[in-house]
Amino acid sequence: MIYLDNAATTRPYDSVIARMAEVLGEAYGNPSSLHRMGMEAENIITEARKTVADSIGAKENEIYFTPSGTLANNTAILGYLRRNKHKGNKVLISSVEHASVYNIGKYLLENGYTVEWIPILNGEPDWIWLEEHLDTDTALVSMMAVNNETGTVFDIPRLKNMIDRKGLKTVLHSDCIQAYGKLNISVRDFGADMMSFSGHKIGAPKGIGVLYVKKGVLLEPLYLGGGQENNLFSGTENVANIAGFSEAVKVFRKEKPVEKVKALSKLFLETLLPEIPLNSKHSLGTVVNISMNLRSEIVLHMLESEGIYVSSGSACSQKKGGSNRVLEGFSVPKKQQDTAIRISFSHLNTEDEVRYAAEKLNEIYLQNKKK
């Protein structure tokens, strides 16, 4: 099996699986309990919070564990706007965001907010448009750091500098789910006031995310309960998943896998026929998006028959059909949208696997070209 769908989810590291099994079997107390078992569980969370905070140069009380990256995104945007209604009701959101941000924008539009979609020009945000539309009425801007379908990197520090240069109080949120562990993110240099992360994109389990909230930024919780995570995410903490997230952070900080991933991406593109259209611009290298000369689903099944697993876009949207909103936002022609394939790499892949996948794509392309 050759798994090249790592933007959808990753295989948990062996050490993550071992650490989670250890916590599930031995540290199963409720972190809110006052006895020793509860304190052991609470200590695991405290240690994990420090590990994540250190990875981005944040304070421990700025890190919140969440049930998912989606809930982190929702809480950041909706929680801020509901808590800070006096800051205005204008929101800017990039037009190529993941559904967990894009659909919040649609919801806000239906509920009285002014939402403007930041256009993409030549593979990057339209900075002239932003200069014109970012103003004193803008309460919040949300722009992802790395696009999940193309791997395109957006310049978040530049956006933060624009906000500061204009002297605005606008809060900046960034979905960093595809960037965390791949870009060098430091809260001081990156500039976002809120950032969302997801465990299953970095070798941790599904069902665990992180929301970074800069000190002084106030949010309203989206649901009520026992007040865990400083009242922002109520519900008994998933200690095993939190421990798994922490272990994954330790692994990627030690091994720095992104350099190998970039090398694999480079090898893939060097092996791929140059005539196959490339939809990725300004890509980090963890994701490659190409267009074949057959419909995506046909190519997916042909590759699967060879034991190669890729995708045709976001795992959250590809089953829904219809046009590809993200590729359309990147000005990819409709025909190329219908034949788009996303290949996303992991440092667990080998050069032979990547070369073989590219060669199979070349064969499929040439076979269909002759017809």
Mean pLDDT computed over every residue of the chain = 94
**Can you tell me the distance from the alpha carbon of 77 to that of 194, in angstroms, rounded to the nearest whole number?**
9
pLDDT of residue 98: 97
Comparing 87-96, 158-167, 269-278, 309-318, the range with the smallest average pLDDT is: 309-318
Domain ranges of the chain: 2-10+256-369, 14-254
Does the pLDDT value for residue 56 go beyond 60?
Answer: yes
Q: What is the spatial distance between Cα 6 and Cα 203, in angstroms, rounded to a whole number?
A: 10
pLDDT at 160: 98
| CA 18/CA 45 separation, integer angstroms | 17
Distance CA 251, CA 210 (A): 17
The Cβ of residue 107 has, within 10 Å, a number of other Cβ atoms equal to 14
Give first-to-last CA distance, the chain, whole Å.
Answer: 29
pLDDT number for residue 314 = 53
pTM metric for this prediction: 0.94
Residue 324 has pLDDT above 80, yes or no: yes
pLDDT of 313 reads 65
Residue 283 pLDDT greater than 80, yes or no: yes
Short-list 138, 148, 57, CA closest to 101: 148
195-211 confidence digits (pLDDT tens): 999 999 999 999 999 99
Residue 216, C-beta contacts closer than 8 angstroms, at least 6 positions apart: none
pLDDT at 18: 98
Backbone angles phi, psi at 96, to 5 degrees: -115, 25
Residue 371 — very low, low, confident or very high, per pLDDT cuts 50/70/90? low
The answer to whether 327 and 277 have CB atoms below 8 angstroms apart is: no
**DSSP character string of 172-238:** EEEE-TTTBTTB---HHHH--SEEEEEGGGTTS-SS-EEEEE-TT-----SS-SS-TTTTTS-S---
Would 2-10+256-369 and 14-254 be classified into the same CATH topology?
no
Answer whether residue 315 shows pLDDT above 60: no
Most confident by average pLDDT, 56-60, 224-228, 277-281:
56-60
Residues serving a catalytic function are 316
For the structural domain made of 14-254, what CATH number should be given?
3.40.640.10
Share of the chain above pLDDT 90, in %: 92
- 4-40: per-residue pLDDT in tens? 999 999 999 999 999 999 999 999 999 999 999 899 9
Residue 118, beta-bridge partner list: 94
The pLDDT assigned to 318 comes to: 47
pLDDT tens readout for residues 95-123: 999 999 999 999 999 999 999 999 999 99
What confidence tier does 269 reach under pLDDT thresholds 50, 70, 90? very high
If you average pLDDT over each of 68-82, 273-287, 304-318, which comes out highest? Answer: 68-82
**pLDDT at residue 368, as a whole number:** 87
Structural element, H or E, at residue 327 = helix 325-329
CATH class as words, domain 2-10+256-369: alpha beta
pLDDT average, residue stretch 159-165: 98
DSSP 8-state code for residue 81: H
